[in-house]
Structure 1
């Protein structure tokens, strides 16, 4: 059986390892903490991060990075985005130049504003085969074999199709896409909008509010994504609107949950202390402000969410300020181009 590797034993990493294990691969799941690794081996269940899901026998849990990565045919990194560079540095002595690395993390590096695939290439070399896996994929559902679709993006078609073949299964459908930038931007920015969706629900607002937030939020995602080189069509696909809808409407979403509690009046500090999972949107909100400034992009929803998170702005006040912004046309970019003929 072909050896494949998943780095990170949170809910998402465990779910992906199970997808691969059920296909018959020999899967090495790298676990950072020894006590968690021992628990996974003993109970064959990730009680803390993915309770109720039996870890298949083909998944071997280890804290030894060399054991996990050496002679593997594929490495999937499912750690938080904040430790992506650290992980790639650590595996670099053990990985061959031809072994594809798949990023399953959604976010940016705070200090450099880089996407995950850019970090991997910086550490392993521009020619190293890299792909990105993203889409409306709750670990809780993937782990339970609920039919799911996802996207694998790579600059090289052969790499995207290689990863597609490895992950494709009757309950996990994989599409390919050459637009790495768009797929990564969609995956990272939807977490910010999901915080806003949670806030609106926490405030007790209704479907009208949620629909407006998602629609205008998608506009912001596409606006920044295309400015950074992404394809507009990507944001209408699984890694764009698909991931946005799933994250903004599901109680599985840690970003939605964080926003919901903010809307109910809890402080961000309290919320983060009470959760055992990483809320990627909190970190992404800070980076996106820098990116919006860098590319001179208007992102009013993201900016107001940033103010709620980092400037202690009252969520109700943020909603009022969004509603009373200067009037504009819904298709702003189109009108700018065609105003003389309208």
Structure 2
């Protein structure tokens, strides 16, 4: 059955998901602060800053008026960088109160808040009154916007403590090339989504330095061990990390040039400075900020995360990346199970 959906955030992932939902038969309004972007989407059906050579459905409606986007929506999908979650959620709460609506909230943001280390669903829960929302569902998994745009086969997870809400989103998003599975482990889904960006930076850096498949496989495997350790310390189900929002998302992000985190790492490996990489990326590199949050969080919880620690030193303390790799490889020998 067709539903009315608001999508907040018109970057590559938000706009492609909005377009897919239109093609699934739903009425979708896509919100962006940028009026020029809104005009391009409505008049020319393009989003050139984020999605080159892709034409959006003529039935997709864009607006820079959040009230207009949300009015009548039964589902609100938030797809914005982590640092903007609170501001947008706070504004959404006000709009929902004025409209007297209580939609199901979904987010597809992958990161941790600086200083508080809150996950996106925690920030949304704090900013949107329970009277203005139903459940909060996490949409996560190995899913580059560029691949979904060309209808490459994709599988993701809808995670929510209410499996009824997760199942509703599963049905809403699924089609013959986009398959959604359900999970009730919100903590695991969000930690997997956030922390894989750290490992992706490392994987890109290795390739930029000239390392090959063995090095990448070692980094991904040991990186997954770190992700699992931190997630489990906060109550996540360890099985989640061998699923789509864990190893699935990690593999695609740490091996693809479509990943801005991988691209950032690659440029660092080739000798470019972090400030220069950030300035020229044109989009938020979530892994840079997540590295800091995860490093600090691991120290507070006394969780061993040597790869994350090494990348923190490179990104925030100016350590030479080759020296950081040497230190990783020459640590005290230990068991794989630890």
Task: State whether TM-score is above 0.5.
Answer: yes
The equivalent of 1:118 in structure 2 is 122
Alignment of 1:21-170 (within 5 A): 21-95=22-96, 98-125=102-129, 128-170=134-176
The equivalent of 2:269 in structure 1 is 263
Q: Give the superposition deviation at 1:57.
A: 2.1
Take 2:286 and 2:86, find their aligned partners in 1: how far apart are those partners? 16
**8 Å Cα contact 2:92/2:128 also seen in 1:** no
What TM-score do the two structures reach when normalised by structure 1?
Answer: 0.95
Q: Give the superposition deviation at 1:111.
A: 2.9
The equivalent of 2:310 in structure 1 is 304
Q: Give the superposition deviation at 1:165.
A: 1.1
Take 1:126 and 1:181, find their aligned partners in 2: how far apart are those partners? 19
Q: Show structure 1 runs of 4+ deviating over 4 A.
A: none
SS at match of 2:52: strand
Instruction: Work out which of the residue numbers 196, 205, 217 in structure 1 matches 2:202.
Output: 196
Take 1:32 and 1:136, find their aligned partners in 2: how far apart are those partners? 27
What TM-score do the two structures reach when normalised by structure 2?
Answer: 0.96
Take 1:144 and 1:32, find their aligned partners in 2: how far apart are those partners? 26
Deviations 1:229-282 (A, max 9, x none): 100000000000000000000000000000000000000000111111110000
SS at match of 1:51: coil
Deviations 1:140-182 (A, max 9, x none): 0111111111100001111101111111111110000000000
The equivalent of 1:285 in structure 2 is 291
Q: Give the superposition deviation at 1:97.
A: 5.9
Take 1:160 and 1:218, find their aligned partners in 2: how far apart are those partners? 25
Q: Taking structure 1 as reference, are residues 187 and 22 closer, same or farther at Cα in structure 2, changes over 3 Å only?
A: same
The equivalent of 1:335 in structure 2 is none
The equivalent of 1:212 in structure 2 is 218
**8 Å Cα contact 2:200/2:265 also seen in 1:** yes
Take 2:180 and 2:218, find their aligned partners in 1: how far apart are those partners? 30
Take 1:126 and 1:287, find their aligned partners in 2: how far apart are those partners? 27
Q: Which moved more, 1:122-131 or 1:307-316?
A: 122-131
SS at match of 2:121: helix
Q: Which runs of no fewer than 5 residues in structure 1 stay unpaired?
A: 333-342
Instruction: Work out which of the residue numbers 249, 255, 259 in structure 2 matches 1:249.
Output: 255
Take 2:56 and 2:140, find their aligned partners in 1: how far apart are those partners? 22
Take 1:208 and 1:145, find their aligned partners in 2: how far apart are those partners? 31
**8 Å Cα contact 1:164/1:176 also seen in 2:** yes
SS at match of 1:54: coil
Take 2:47 and 2:170, find their aligned partners in 1: how far apart are those partners? 26
**8 Å Cα contact 1:152/1:175 also seen in 2:** yes
**8 Å Cα contact 1:235/1:241 also seen in 2:** yes
Q: Give the superposition deviation at 1:98.
A: 3.2
**8 Å Cα contact 1:98/1:129 also seen in 2:** no
The alignment status of 1:330 with 2:336, answered yes or no, reads yes
The equivalent of 2:186 in structure 1 is 180
**8 Å Cα contact 2:9/2:31 also seen in 1:** yes
SS at match of 1:149: strand
Q: Give the superposition deviation at 1:93.
A: 2.2
SS at match of 2:180: strand
